[in-house]
Structure 1
Amino acid sequence: MEIIPGVGVDAAKIGDPREVVERRLGSPAHAGVHTRAVYDSVDPTLVLTYDQDDAVELIEVGYGQHDQVFFDGVQLTYRFRAEVTADLAAKGHPGTPSDIGFNLRAGFTIFSMASLSAHRLDPAAPEDDPRRIVEGVAIAPYSYFTDDAPPLSGTAEELEAWLRDRGVLPTKASD
């Protein structure tokens, strides 16, 4: 699955209404309307966070059973984090470390919850090998992962304005 930094993936984009996403992907794996919805109709699985107006504000993609997550020819998931960040830097995609991963200025973060041991990718790795495997990718504008985070409450128009100000959505044409 290829990501579109700061925007999403083909099946779901920042700002998409829940009903549009569910027409594409079907109902989420859990019943009811929740802020976070897991869509396992695709591989890798998508986890979407909706705002109070039921518009997508964050897209998370985990490593897949069959498919992995890519950006600019770089496999992001199910690889050692240091290798992924080195490959991204070599392609001109800088970022900053975070507590569980690495935030890319392009508009996504790679993360590891340390649920996979290095032994999964390197059978010769010692049991206490500290290397982290990228288990997922979260997609939103870079500012979402930094101090200039989007509004967690407000109207759909306010979120849209915030996204336009950051170049995620095109500016509106003058009347």
Structure 2
Amino acid sequence: MVKVGESRDVVESRIGAPMHPGRSSRAVYDTDPMLVITYREDETVELVEIGYGGEEVFFEGVQLTYRFMDDVVAELAAGGHRAVPFDIGFSFEPGFAIFSMSSLSASELDPEASADDPRRVVEGVSIAPFDYFREPTQEEIEAYVRGRQAASS
């Protein structure tokens, strides 16, 4: 429904206006599945986030959302996609990440799961260029802090 780099006007001509009025850099759209889009300052799509529920998200035949994260990572790895871990999920070279905010428990998918079952459920997919998901270097962090300090002076 949306591609990274498209203009907000093109996106909204296709899927309609966001649920909340205004032109915030982050907009939520009442689509199936629901989309949360982050726009750059130039009003082009920087990041697309897709939640679970309704129509699930697939990549190369692998269902990404509303499944156990370890199962999704294993299937993608079997297809040749290397997972790079980050705090709430994994990113993949084609330019997407799967994540869990831990709002769903394992019992959502497995009625036999105990209350303390540690398996995470994929709650969403983020789509952006692969570099978007990498951890910043110490030099990049320092440059960012210097830039913020200079801007506030």
Higher fraction of helix: 2
**Same fold flag (TM > 0.5):** yes
Give 1:60's match in structure 2, choosing from 45, 49, 69. Answer: 49
CA distance in 2, matches of 1:84, 1:114: 16
- Code of the residue aligned with 1:117 in structure 2: it is S
Which structure ranks higher in relative contact order (CA pairs < 8 Å, sequence separation ≥ 6)?
Answer: 1
Match of 1:86? 74
CA distance in 1, matches of 2:136, 2:42: 21
Give 1:44's match in structure 2, choosing from 25, 28, 33. Answer: 33
What RMSD, in angstroms, separates the aligned Cα atoms of the two structures?
1.2
CA distance in 1, matches of 2:79, 2:86: 20
CA distance in 2, matches of 1:101, 1:22: 29
Gaps of 5+ in 1: 1-10, 150-175
| Structure 1 stretches of 4+ moved >2 Å | none
Match of 1:162? none
Match of 2:89? 101
The alpha carbon displacement at 1:148 in A equals: 6.5
The TM-score, its normalising length taken from structure 1, stands at 0.76
Identity among equivalent positions (%) equals 59
The answer to whether 1:77 aligns with 2:65 is yes
The alpha carbon displacement at 1:64 in A equals: 2.1
The answer to whether 1:23 aligns with 2:13 is yes
The TM-score, its normalising length taken from structure 2, stands at 0.87
The alpha carbon displacement at 1:106 in A equals: 1.4
The alpha carbon displacement at 1:147 in A equals: 4.0
The alpha carbon displacement at 1:43 in A equals: 0.9
